[in-house]
Amino acid sequence: MTGKVYLIGGGPSKNLITVKGLNALKKSDVIVHDRLIDKKILKELDNKKEIIDAGKKSGKHKLSQKEIEETLIKKAKENKTVARLKGGDPFIFGRGGEETQSLSKENIKHEVIPGITSAIAAPEKYGVPLTHRKLSSSTVILTGHEDPNKTEKSIDWNKLSHAGTIVILMGVGNLPKIVEKIKQVKDEETPIASFEDIYSPNERVIHGKLKNIKKIAKEKNLQPPAVTVIGEVVKLGNFWKKK
């Protein structure tokens, strides 16, 4: 007999986790969490639970992805209820898909509980809608840090000319390269904003246009984690200076 694993999206802050997600955490025996969760979520739980920090940072992993998946399987086979708690949503660049594959291979019962992705939550907090009836009819969410070993084709930047709004996650380190690629298909006057560490005490917005954002980001020392949004909808943000 085995237990069950919940893959839970914790959203970008304690106040934005779903009721279902919080209830699953409360009934779990083990919680395996990522680095970018709001740690205040854990304070809502009793201290009898086993807490495993599986946080990853560029170049520094407390547990490899393989070790994380092995841990989920091992704990479930001990007939425990396991919560895999992720920041944002489990399936938006959260490797939740890989974890469900591993659990399925071992016939481990599991359930995905969606969460609010920072791709939406960060710009919305500052009044930026990803779609707008008059400005943008489509949104593309991209990773700014592709896995070099993946088998699928890399991002075709040329096709982004038709995207109304472009959202980049995990793109701070590669922002200069990303901007140059997008400038090939978008006007250099296109507004752009990076939402840094939103829903934390250190949150801030760095904004400009494609033609000058590299300079601004360098001067302001933009740091991860940040969500970058490109498109006319950025002008609707409450940080944008109206002309």
Supply the pLDDT for residue 62.
Answer: 80
In angstroms, the CA 67 to CA 77 distance is 15
Mean pLDDT of 211-236: 97
Number of residues in the chain: 243
Alpha-carbon span 125 to 193, nearest angstrom: 13
Quick one: how far is CA 10 from the chain centroid? 10
* 8 A C-beta contact, residue 75 and residue 30: yes
Instruction: Give 196's strand partners.
Output: 204, 226
As given in the structure block, the two tokens for residue 41 are: 């979520």
Q: Which residue has the higher pLDDT, 94 or 130?
A: 130
Token digits for 53?
A: 């920090």
Count the Cβ atoms, other than its own, within 10 Å of residue 89.
25
Average pLDDT (79-100) is: 95
Residues whose CB falls within 8 Å of the CB of residue 13, separated by 6 or more in sequence, listed in order? 38, 40, 199, 200
CATH topology for the 118-236 domain: 3.30.950
Q: Is there a contact between 76 and 3 (Cβ–Cβ < 8 Å)?
A: yes
Query: Quick one: how far is CA 189 from the chain centroid?
Result: 27
Residue 99: phi, psi to the nearest 5? -70, -40
What span, in angstroms and rounded, lies between the C-alpha atoms of 130 and 128? 6
- What is the model's pLDDT at position 51? 95
Q: Which residues are catalytic?
A: 34, 56, 170
Residue 65's alpha-carbon distances to 70, 102, 212, in angstroms, are 9, 11, 37
Q: Do residues 201 and 166 touch, judged by C-beta distance below 8 A?
A: no
The pLDDT of residue 1 is above 90: no
CATH number of 4-113, picked from 3.40.50.720, 3.40.50.300, 3.40.1010.10, 3.40.50.12140: 3.40.1010.10
Give the pLDDT mean for 104-127.
97
Q: Pairing state of beta strands 50-53 and 56-57?
A: unpaired
Q: Looking at the whole model, is its pTM more than 0.85?
A: yes
Q: Where in the chain are the domains?
A: 4-113, 118-236
Which 3 state secondary structure label does DSSP give 66? helix
Mean per-residue pLDDT, 102-119? 97
pLDDT tens-digit series, residues 4-35: 999 999 999 999 999 999 999 999 999 999 98
Looking up tokens 């995990």 gives 170
Beta-strand pair 204-209/56-57: unpaired
Say if residue 129 is preceded by a cis peptide, omega within 30 of 0: no
pLDDT range class, residue 147, cuts 50, 70, 90: low
